Amino acid sequence: MTTTRVLVIGAGLAGSEAAWFLASRGVSVALVEVKTLKLNPAQKIKNFAELVCTNSLKSLDPDSAHGLLKTEMRALGSLVLAVADVTSVPAGDALAVDRELFSAEITKRLHAHPNIKVVAGEAGDPMALMRELECQHVIVATGPLTTTPLEEWMVANLGAEDIYFYDAIAPVVDADTLDYSKLYYKDRHRKPDERADYLNAPMNKEQYDLFVGELAKAEKVPPKDFEDWKFFESCLPIDLMAERGPETARFSCMKPIGLELPDGSEPWAVVQLRKENLAGAAFNLVGFQTRLTYKEQVRVFRMIPGLEEASFIHLGSCHRNSFLNSRRLLNASMTSNKFPELSFAGQITGVEGYTESASMGLYVASQLLFRIQGKPELSWPVETGIGALVNYVMTIEKPTPSNINFGLLPAIEMTKEQRKSGPRKKVRKSLAAARAREVFETFRVQL
Ligand SMILES: Cc1cc2nc3c(=O)[nH]c(=O)nc-3n(C[C@H](O)[C@H](O)[C@H](O)COP(=O)(O)OP(=O)(O)OC[C@H]3O[C@@H](n4cnc5c(N)ncnc54)[C@H](O)[C@@H]3O)c2cc1C
């Protein structure tokens, strides 16, 4: 047992994991959570680690991206997964839970742990609270709906320009499912023979008018009562542009200027696709953040030439979400560059999803434990699920919260035999998952 004491703020997915990890390894933890005093509008129960929407922690298939994240989390002694296992409900390949039992059991175990002191309270200044509770380190794991006093402290102390309160996500499509015969590479204003990063889907007037008409009338997700949708003019949802007028998108993200077709003619409008990752395994629809329901996104975005059969790695959305520009504010252990005693974990670091957030709680706690023990912190291999998430948030220039997906892992070079052994996408994922497990097995001896 060390004499070091750690303050964990927020008993959500990440905070519960971090507190449990440290406490189970002999570190004394003060766990501060506001929800027993007041719930935010997305929360319904007072217990910890509430799953505010779906009750699914996604796939158990070891060859899926979520499956490999689970393998790594289990090796780190994940509380979330251990409790999910005993409160699970049948859900095929997925790990779904009875959300009430799940949260009740997590809360019970955290309260019962001899090294954890649970404190009901709302954190404002985390550094002051750390000193008040006689701790030497603090992990902020307050999630996408961090309360106002703490948000205000972050803005004042970490810098307003690197903290985001709103998330407008554009959809991402799987590169293997595009019809390249209808698409062409060209960067705006670059000559056609110059190397280009953007893949373009051109539309003629008829296609554009039809597309924009469908965007305007498609079903939208209504804002939740805690979301006051005030959009930045430079980041308008594509469907809002369509509602403003038929030409708005054509003078914004769909403008054709500088994007001549290979025959030199100018299309009426263009949808630009940008590589999501170095491997080019996925493409982001540039400027296509949207309020459309998931079902409508699939229907309407498949009207884009070349995307008729597209498979969506994730769909677009607009929702309240507090998160940091981790690349600028934190080091690779998710510790503040400005306050060495302060770390962040969970969705606030720029990942998205229950499992991803929980895995970041484990990651940050494991790095902090090394620090407490006087050992050098570890550099997690990017081939692993957790390493890929860390690498993503620490390198992405324009922070966009992401789920775990194979596009975050380094590309797999397939041999001729492997290419022939089955559907390309499936083989590639299975090879990446196998490599992740192998790399993690070697790496975990250091943990
Ligand atoms: C409305 C909504 C729906 C979502 N749906 C899904 C979904 O279906 N599937 C999915 O995978 N992901 C979903 N997410 C995304 C996200 O993965 C989850 O929100 C996840 O719970 C994030 O984990 P976390 O530990 O970072 O934060 P949380 O689980 O939100 O935990 C943060 C905790 O900190 C507490 N807290 C906040 N501020 C303070 C403070 N100042 N002092 C003390 N305590 C504080 C909160 O009460 C909360 O208990 C959703 C997010 C939102 C907002």
Q: In terms of DSSP bridges, do strands 5-9 and 137-140 run parallel, antiparallel, or are they unpaired?
A: parallel
Q: What is the pLDDT of residue 164?
A: 85
**Residue 303 pLDDT exceeds 60:** yes
The stretch 374-385 carries a mean pLDDT of: 96
Question: Which of helix, strand or coil describes residue 66?
Answer: helix
Question: How far does the centroid of ligand 1 lie from the alpha carbon of residue 113, in Å?
Answer: 23
Q: What is the pLDDT of residue 216?
A: 96
The stretch 425-442 carries a mean pLDDT of: 93
H helices of 218-337, in order, are 238-244, 294-301, 326-329
> Best of 147, 322, 357 to mutate for ligand 1, by most ligand atoms within 8 A of CB?
357
User: Quick one: pLDDT band at residue 195, thresholds 50, 70, 90?
Assistant: confident
- Which domains does the chain show, CATH number per domain? 5-165+321-446 (3.50.50.60), 171-315 (2.40.30)
The percent of residues above 70 in pLDDT, for the chain, comes to 97
Question: How far does the centroid of ligand 1 lie from the alpha carbon of residue 274, in Å?
Answer: 29
- Closest residue to atom 48 of ligand 1, CA basis: 12
The stretch 69-90 carries a mean pLDDT of: 96
Q: What is the pLDDT of residue 169?
A: 78
Ligand 1 atom at minimal distance to the Cα of residue 150: 41
For 287-311, letters b (16+ CB in 10 Å) and e give bbbbbbbeebbeebbeebbbbeebe
Cross-strand pairs, 94: 59
Whole-number average pLDDT of the chain? 92
Question: How far does the centroid of ligand 1 lie from the alpha carbon of residue 320, in Å?
Answer: 11
Q: How many CB atoms lie within 10 A of CB 99?
A: 21
pLDDT, tens digit, for every residue of 305-320?
A: 999 999 999 899 887 8
Q: How many CB atoms lie within 10 A of CB 95?
A: 22
**Residue 189 pLDDT exceeds 90:** no
The stretch 95-119 carries a mean pLDDT of: 96
Any idea which of 4-13, 24-33, 267-276 has the lowest mean pLDDT? 267-276
pLDDT, tens digit, for every residue of 10-46?
A: 999 999 999 999 999 999 999 999 999 999 878 989 9
- Closest residue to atom 31 of ligand 1, CA basis: 12
Q: To which residue do tokens 């490999």 refer?
A: 68
- Closest residue to atom 13 of ligand 1, CA basis: 353
The stretch 242-267 carries a mean pLDDT of: 94
**Residue 230 pLDDT exceeds 60:** no
Closest-CA residue to 126 (of 370, 333, 341): 341
**Residue 225 pLDDT exceeds 70:** no
Using a 6 Å CB cutoff, which residues line ligand 1?
9-15, 32-35, 42, 52-54, 122-123, 141-147, 150, 346-348, 352-354, 357
